[in-house]
Amino acid sequence: MFGIKTKILKYLIFHQQEKSKKLSNDLRITELMNFFEADEFGHESNIKNADLGYGWIHYGLLRQIKAKKILCIGSRYGYIPAVLAQACHDNGFGKVDFVDAGFGDEIKKEGKSSWTGKGFWKTQEGKDHFKNFGLENNIQLFVTTTQKFAKKYKNMSYEYIYIDGDHSYEGIKTDFKLFWPMLHEGGLMLLHDISIKETLPEGKYGVWKLWEEKTNKNKIEVNYLGSGLGIIQKQSNR
């Protein structure tokens, strides 16, 4: 009996020690993924395994390029914006401007799509969400459309821009046009869902089409099984 208890204890200690040798903190990762309701399919991630999926790419890039000014467009419950804000927090500097119109089902009456948005950012819970996770110093929420945001803050500039908002061809084309000029030379623009070519209940996807049109040399495609993530580095003001 005593032998089994010792063996179990040794096993637990061994695994605890192995976990503490990891670069990442599994507990914080699963807490973040649960709190911000990470979409496992959409980001090739896995909450149980503390696997950030595409979140690793965002986190790693921000830790490495040490961007101070980041723009993030669109998220259902804040998963990727939170990863970006966490990277700024861990760098010890940097701020994310997170823009989401807070669209939900109501938009259907106008014949538009919310692109799976749930209206969360219009609620008080949505407005307090980053504060409730302790990330409020590294992120600011703007509940508005990208068009209105770009008009109001036309002098803003960013080193890192992530777009996951209106997924129609017209929508992504508009956002690209609005925000590309705001990207620093050498800065990175990332587009989510470059691989989806179907028409799904939320609408006809068109990010793939814009992505194919971009002929920049500095273009990387992270495109495994699911949604696909496109990364373009800006070389000049083209």
Ligand X SMILES: C[S@@+](CC[C@H](N)C(=O)[O-])C[C@H]1O[C@@H](n2cnc3c(N)ncnc32)[C@H](O)[C@@H]1O
From candidates 71, 135, 164, 195, binder to ligand X by CB under 6 A: 164
Q: Which stretch binds ligand X (CB under 6 A): 25-33, 62-70, 158-166, 207-215?
A: 158-166
Give 38 or 67: the residue with its C-beta nearer to ligand X: 38
From candidates 74, 187, 228, 230, binder to ligand X by CB under 6 A: 74
Residues 36-55 within binding reach of ligand X (CB under 6 A): 39, 42
From candidates 44, 51, 97, 100, binder to ligand X by CB under 6 A: 100
- Residue with the CB atom nearest ligand X in the bound state: 117
Measured between alpha carbons, how far is 176 from 229 in angstroms, rounded to an integer?
A: 15
Q: Which stretch binds ligand X (CB under 6 A): 69-77, 124-132, 218-226, 229-237?
A: 69-77
3-state secondary structure the chain: CHHHHHHHHHHHHHHHHHHHCCCCCHHHHHHHHHHCCCCCCCCCCECCCCECCHHHHHHHHHHHHCCCEEEEECCCCCHHHHHHHHHHHHHCCCEEEEECCCCCHHHHHHCCCCCCCCCHHHCHHHHHHHHHCCCHHHEEEECCCHHHHHHHCCCCCEEEEEECCCCCHHHHHHHHHHHHHHEEEEEEEEEECCCCCCEECCEECCHHHHHHHCCCCCEEEECCCCCCEEEEECCCCC
From candidates 29, 70, 85, 101, binder to ligand X by CB under 6 A: 101
Asked whether position 85 contacts ligand X by CB under 6 A, the answer is: no
Q: Which stretch binds ligand X (CB under 6 A): 59-67, 98-106, 122-130, 211-219?
A: 98-106
Asked whether position 103 contacts ligand X by CB under 6 A, the answer is: yes
Question: And the tokens for 51?
Answer: 């696997």
From candidates 98, 115, 176, 208, binder to ligand X by CB under 6 A: 115
CA nearest to 165, candidates 182, 151, 179:
179
What is the contact mask toward ligand X in residues 136 to 155, using x (rule: CB under 6 A)? Answer: ---------xx---------
Give 33 or 67: the residue with its C-beta nearer to ligand X: 33
Residues at the site binding ligand X, with contacts judged by CB under 6 A: 39, 42, 74-76, 79, 99-103, 114-117, 145-146, 164-166, 192
